[in-house]
Structure 1
Amino acid sequence: MGGKKDSNSSNIHSHCFKPFISPNPVTSFNPVQRFPKIDKTAFVSQFSSVIGDVTIRNNVYVAPNVSIRADEGTPFYIGSNTNIQDGVILHGLLNKKVSSGKERYSIFIGDEVTIAHGALVHGPCYIADEVFVGFKAIVYNAIVGRGSFISYNAVVTNGVRIPPGRFVPPGANIDSQKKADALSPVPKDDKEFAHEVQRVNQEFPASYHLLFGKNRCSCGFAY
């Protein structure tokens, strides 16, 4: 009353905006705990979790209700300016990896990638730069070439390699290399849509940091 400050308000504020960021649990198959490495310019929503050996590079946006769980297959890599939208799941199979240069990953996601609402990316999986993965799509045990567009409800699996710049139609099941090689180039409208999604989401990390305050450590926790 009368403008009196709630004595608990500062405590509530300080604990409201903490995502669940932790090392992997110790298991027989992953006996060493490894913490996520999150660039200070990236933003991880307070309603999301990042577990284990996960590298998140600069200006990445991780929306609410995302699960990035490197407790079985590991490590994960998420490149610069990538956005991981609401409800996305990232997980990987034990000891199944893909190569990027000299390194091997359970999941590798390049720069300026969009993983749209509700999609599942399951390792072993390699997603190159500027790929769009649509709503509720599944990418599992696959390599997706640069600039490709995977439409909503599509499935890409069974060890296929999607050539660069190819379009996976809505609801398609790309489970053989013959199907992958037959895919058409990304239509102009879909390419423009993917670029616009990137433009919008690249503004979110800095904007959300301003909204929730700058008192965060490099791991993403609020002080």
Structure 2
Amino acid sequence: MRRTLVASGAASALLLTGLVSLSATAAEPEGCHPTKENRPVCQAGSPAETATFLDATAKVKEPEHISLAEHVYVGPFAELVADDDAPISIGDESNVQDNVLILGARDGDSDSDSDSDDDGGRETVRGEGHAEPGVEIGDRVILAHGVSVIGPAQIGVEGNDIPADPAGDQEVFLSFSSQVDGAVLERNTGVGALGRVGPGVRLRSGFIVLPGKNVTTQTEADDPALGKVRLINEADVAFNEAVIEVNTAFAREYTRLYRDNPSNVRGVNFDPGHTEFNHDRDLPSFAGQEKRVPGFRNRLIGDLNLIDTFSRFSSVSGARISLRADEGEPFGVGSVDRMGDDVIFHALEEADLVAGDRVQYGDKVVVHGGGRVVVAGEPEEPTVVGDDVVLEDESIVFRSTIGNGSVIGQRSVVVGSDLAPGTEVPPRTVIINGVKFGDVEW
């Protein structure tokens, strides 16, 4: 397998922050199958107002066993891996963001025997009857950048005790680099950044896994006093609804961008514009020169301003990189010392992002902009990565300022914080609002 399987209230907190019963034979999903003729728009002839859009770089294995409903956005370098025993279905208005990995089944699981554990006699999701694996993702589910989902799993399903609310407020949010592995997440739940829900666990409606926590038993999932989950709140719900609105707009407007010119949705190119949060179509610039390079191996989109020339950036950057200034903008990026594989830049609407000179970006780094109110009544502050900063593999920066010469350790996350120059954050550490929240447990 190519990539490692990895996997706050305020909105920042959510971003940081079951026993499934499957039939004996996996049902074939209904809906649009993202076969060649249905890429990047699924169905090919759908009106933009209802279309699903898959970025040209997204990888799909056995699309006949994958079902996508309407208004779904699938971002750059996402991977959906299904087979006839492990189908994948994704419901209306859900989104699969950059570098997300969905596996219908872990290798070899489709023939696994039934298992059980000692937590109250629970059987694991692979349980009795050689249950066939698969991944079912319901309506209005958000799979943020770098998430992984490993089947058999269900996300956004109706709870055993709490029926679905027809009025809404039932989204599921999986934050940056979180993981759902063989688990069930009911509607109105969430998992914080670098959080995880493990096999056999059911996350019940109204609960969110805290950032970095690894929930492996039903007791941990049900009891906030154990320090791994908290209750969802109104800020979480409002944030989720805004994310859904943005990504359904992406499905519509990237479809229109593609139909204007199929090469518009490849390589270095335009953002789609024509949304309430991003009105204009912009091109990235290199050393002050706007450039459009549809054949480039990475996705650089929108009002992204790099101080490096295109040639130099290409020489110091890896593969499967997604720098997307299609929501928040502009992005100002200084000279890149090194940029590893699977790096992601993005920003919330009305937020920008600034990165300094000589920054080293490890593999699977996420840098995400989002407005921060530092002084009441003053404009929001951008996310800033200073000069000579080292962001080690799988580190995450969100709504923060990282001082010059700082080092953010491997698989660490920094949210809502102003770090002084020269700060060293140890590996696998969660920093929220400038203080250590905990460790990444897995």
Instruction: State if a TM-score over 0.5 links the two structures.
Output: yes
1:105 CA displacement: 5.4
1:133-174 deviation digits (Å, cap 9, x = unpaired): 110001001000101011110010021000012111111111
- The residue number in structure 1 matching 2:12 is none
Counterpart in the other structure of 1:115 = 143
Q: Does 1:88 align with 2:100?
A: yes
Task: Confirm whether residue 78 of structure 1 aligns to residue 90 of structure 2.
Answer: yes
> 2:186 aligns to what?
145
2:210 and 2:230 in contact (8 A); partners too: no
CA distance in 1, matches of 2:84, 2:102: 11
Q: Output one character per residue of 1:7-51: Cα deviation in whole Å (capped at 9) or x when no partner.
A: xxxxxxxxxxxxxxxxxxxxxxxxxxxxx7144211000010112
Pairing partner for 2:248 from 195, 202, 209: 202
1:126 is paired with a residue whose SS is strand
* Contact 1:77/1:105 (8 A) holds in 2: no
RMSD: 2.3
In structure 2, the gaps of 5 or more residues are: 1-31, 35-41, 44-50, 113-124, 127-131, 158-170, 224-228, 263-442
Helix, strand or coil for the counterpart of 2:235?
helix
Answer with 1 or 2: which has the greater Rg.
2
3-state DSSP of counterpart to 1:114: strand
Letter in 2 for 1:58: E
**Residues 112-134 of structure 1: CA deviation (Å, up to 9, x unaligned):** 10000001001011001621111
1:87 and 1:198 map into 2 onto residues whose CA distance is: 18
Q: CA deviation at 1:184?
A: 2.9
Residue 47 (structure 1) aligns with? 57
Q: Which SS does the other structure have where 1:132 is aligned?
A: strand
Gaps of 5+ in 1: 1-35, 99-103, 217-223
Is the partner of 2:188 in helix, strand or coil? coil
When normalised by structure 2's length, the TM-score is: 0.38
Aligned to 2:209: 168
C-alpha contact (below 8 Å) 1:64/1:87 kept by paired residues: yes
Identity fraction in percent = 31
Of 54, 60, 66, the residue aligned with 2:78 is 66
5 Å-filtered alignment, 1:12-51, equals: 37-38=33-34, 39-40=42-43, 41-51=51-61
Does the residue aligned with 2:256 lie in a helix, a strand or coil? helix
In the alignment, is the contact (CA less than 8 A) between 1:73 and 1:123 conserved in 2? no
